[in-house]
Amino acid sequence: MIGTLQYAVTTGSSFGFGAEHIADGIIMLWMDDVQRASEIRRHGIIKKMRLTNHYRKSL
């Protein structure tokens, strides 16, 4: 099962009514502002993954 949450760019928080606390895994994907960066930059990070030994450093 996959669920999605809306992320508020202005406040830096998500709207999930506590879904972060009941989810087994959270993978955050985002893209920088193309006009400001003058290129397309995409990022992804595993914020939480229960019962999994995942890499915890940024690449």
| pLDDT tens-digit readout, 1-54 | 777 777 666 666 665 566 677 788 888 888 888 888 889 988 888 778 888 876
Which position has the higher pLDDT, 5 or 58?
5
Bridge partner list, 13: 8
Per-domain residue ranges of the chain: 25-59
DSSP symbols for 3-58 = ---EEETTTTEEESTTHHHH-SEEEEEEE--HHHHSS--EEEEEEEETT-----S-
pLDDT number for residue 59: 62
Predicted TM-score (pTM) of this structure: 0.57
